[in-house]
Amino acid sequence: MHTLVHQPAMLAIVVAYLAILLLVGLHFYNKQKSVAANESGADFFLAGRSLGKIVAVGTMLATFTGNGTISGGGNSLAFNYGLWSGIFFVVPPILSFSFLYFAAPKIRAGGHTTVAEMIEDRFGSNARFFAGIIIALAMVSIVSYQYRGLGFILNATTGISVETCTAICCAVVVALAFSGGLRTVAATDALSAFLMVGGLVIGIPFLLNAIGGWGWVIENAAVNDPKSLTFFGGQTLIGWAGGYLPLFFLTIGDQNYYQRINAAKDLKTARAGLLGSMAGCCIIMPVVAVYAFCAKQWFGGNIRAGQALISTATLMPTIIGGIVLSAAAAFTITTGDSYLLSGASNFTIDIYRTHINPKATPADEMRASRWFILIAGVLAYVILQFFPSVLAIQYWSYTIYAAGMTPAVVGALLWSNCTKPGGVASMFVGTALTIAWEATLYKATGLQTIYVALPASFIVLVLVSLCTQPKKS
């Protein structure tokens, strides 16, 4: 096993990429100031409903493939359990984007800025307030582990502690989300998405050349970790499936995609964005799995699972490694600012405008959203300190949204007999069970929370709705 050797020369390429993103953010910040007096919160969070196909593909792909992809998710699964576990991380985006593709006409017909607005239409104002809190909590939690991803990248190049580098990432993500709403986020997403796909694909042959080829990787795994070459990688079927279910159910109810579907200039554009994102994921997920699996064979236990893909870049020529690290930075930053902006939309539209200041002007809403971005950005950094790994906080974030929100969202979209008490009860039970199971029973039972909280949420939705159907006159 080899140790990680830091590559300071690669830092210049990463810094150049970050500088470009910040310049784009500054451009939109200045542009935003000139129209702030006339632009509504919906325009700020939906980019004036003007996204074209290329930007729609880029922003949806970049939102899906964040640090959870290159430090948690498929990366960590491939590192811990083998190649197939990482490759199969492609299943959730295929299934979830297919669902959103067919649901897109109904999503656009509603024209909502937030998922909580849609919830209110079916389940009332109290449900909207509760939904806004759940979504904001999940969004902030997801933002938190994006910081750690860039922390790993800066650590790989500079040797500065991961903790210090993580704090730097916090500042960059907050600055981008603060700058110009979804216009900034979508533009930087589109720029980054193509860097992600191209950068990772370009790096594969250089990595294999540096470590002795794919034959060496398989040979080493067969000798030192033969389970990693099997389909389940030593996991049970329940454990294996539990790695994918939270992401699937998060995505089909995720406000980020509902906002981007509504931000597209028309339905055809929105659907093109979903299909393009699905195609991008079909390239990215297997490639990430290969990187992580190679890292396990080369570095073994000398690195954390979350560092797997990032560490392999240090084995490549400086320019190629710098491009790969910039692609990894693109994953973390674009998803971080997307989810931070999404949480801000919940606070501004579902809590501030509805309950705190109903007479708010567009300028008031802008200030409220930016204050939320600043405060929530710092809070996300604090939350990160309480989780042992990227994978741990990733599954907590996904599960609280999947169980607390997705059943109610699906019911609101697809089931005409879903009632107000059913939707509210589903959100409450899913959220409460996620928190309680994670805090007390997960360690004792070993059963993933998604298998408890999600079915309970759906069952409560159906049973309470059936028991509270309006009487026929």
pLDDT digits (tens, 9 = 90+) for 269-309: 999 999 999 999 999 999 999 999 999 999 988 888 888 99
The amino acid sitting at 143 is: V
CA torsion angle 192 196 197 199 (round to 10): 120
* Residues listed for the chain: 473
Compute the distance between CA of residue 204 and CA of residue 220 in angstroms, rounded to an integer: 18
Query: Whose CA is closest to 258, among 429, 42, 426?
Result: 42
Per-10-residue mean pLDDT of the chain, 473 residues long, equals: 82 83 67 50 62 86 80 89 94 96 92 85 87 84 80 81 82 72 61 78 94 95 93 90 90 89 93 95 94 94 87 92 83 76 80 85 82 87 78 82 94 92 95 89 85 96 94 69
Q: How far, CA to CA in Å, does 365 sit from each of 185, 254, 267, 351, 372?
A: 18, 23, 28, 11, 10
Query: Whose CA is closest to 200, among 321, 60, 77?
Result: 321
Q: What is the reported pLDDT for 388?
A: 66
What tokens were used for 433?
A: 């069970």
Give the tens place of pLDDT for each residue, 190-211. 667 777 788 889 999 999 999 9
Instruction: State the residue for tokens 């997705």.
Output: 406
Question: Which residues share a beta bridge with 51?
Answer: 264
CB-based contact 132:116 (threshold 8 Å): yes
Compute the distance between CA of residue 255 and CA of residue 264 in angstroms, rounded to an integer: 14
Q: What is the reported pLDDT for 84?
A: 94
pTM for the complete prediction?
A: 0.82
Work out the end-to-end distance of the chain between its first and last CA atoms, rounded to an integer number of angstroms.
75
CB-based contact 253:405 (threshold 8 Å): yes
Q: What is the reported pLDDT for 189?
A: 67
Q: What is the reported pLDDT for 299?
A: 93
Q: How far, CA to CA in Å, does 429 sit from each of 26, 237, 452?
A: 43, 26, 11
Average pLDDT of every residue of the chain: 85
Question: Which DSSP string corresponds to 160-203?
Answer: --HHHHHHHHHHHHHHHHHHHHHHHHHHHHHHHHHHHHHHHHHH
Instruction: For each of the domains in the chain, give its residue range(s) and CATH number, in order of start.
Output: 11-25+42-387 (1.20.1730.10)
The amino acid sitting at 148 is: R
CB-based contact 336:143 (threshold 8 Å): yes
Q: What is the reported pLDDT for 37?
A: 46
Compute the distance between CA of residue 179 and CA of residue 174 in angstroms, rounded to an integer: 9
The amino acid sitting at 228 is: S
Could you tell me where the DSSP H helices lie in 349-449?
Answer: 362-384, 390-404, 406-414, 420-436, 442-445
Burial class (CB in 10 A: 0-12, 13-18, 19+), 472: exposed
Q: What is the reported pLDDT for 78?
A: 94
Compute the distance between CA of residue 174 and CA of residue 336 in angstroms, rounded to an integer: 8
Q: What is the reported pLDDT for 181?
A: 54
